[in-house]
Amino acid sequence: MENIAGKIDHTLLKAEAGESDIRRICAEARQYGFASVCVNSCYTKLVADELKGTGIETCVVVGFPLGAMATAAKAYEAACAKADGAGEIDMVINVGALKEGRDDYVEEDIRAVVEAAAPAIVKVIIETCLLTDEEKVKACLLAEKAGAAFVKTSTGFSKAGATAEDVALMKKTVGDRLKVKAAGGIHTPQQAQELLAAGADRIGASNGIALLG
């Protein structure tokens, strides 16, 4: 089994999470050497302070979990997160716009966050469970055109999460130009290894410790 701690975004996005919960997952990230701690934007500064000097990234979700807010609101949230210490931004696309074929809107929505977040990297959540394969490919290509660093399968808050098939399709689409993050419904070391084998570069999970085997 590959040692995957350095590929895991240790995640806590539940509405009921409080500061003590956030401090706990930061301590776990320090202990196990996870890639990042991923939280809602109100906890950006807390996480950045907790992880300062560790090399572990502060990852913040933007436009989460629906992606259906105004582009300016997403960009402002990203800018605030960057100012508070985020090094990585996971944003949700406007799924409805994508499904309607409003590709220019989707691309500009992503680009606005990429520009607001710079130099923090942006991972684009495409919510694969709501898309056809053709739409998944299109979403990945739009994310690439808009300057994103990653495409990501899922929020973990919709109908389903990551699958090896979706990861493989996304990796085939973006090649080595972008990285792929798998997230949502990943509960076992075996699942994590299958997703990495399919082409995932990063795993997002709320139970990162359990994935270590």
Q: Report, as residue numbers or ranges, the catalytic residues.
A: 90, 152, 181
Angle at 125 between CA 90 and CA 82, to 5 degrees: 15
* Inter-residue contact 151 to 174 (CB < 8 Å): yes
Helices (H), the chain: 19-32, 44-51, 71-83, 95-99, 103-117, 133-145, 164-174, 189-198
- 3-class SS of residue 199: coil
CA-CA distance, 132 to 117, in Å (whole number)?
Answer: 29
Among 54, 42, 34, residue whose Cα is nearest residue 13: 42
Comparing C-alpha atoms, which of 84, 94, 145 is closest to residue 120? Answer: 84
Nearest to 65 by CA among 159, 201, 163: 159
- What pairing do the DSSP bridges indicate for beta strands 121-125 and 150-152? parallel
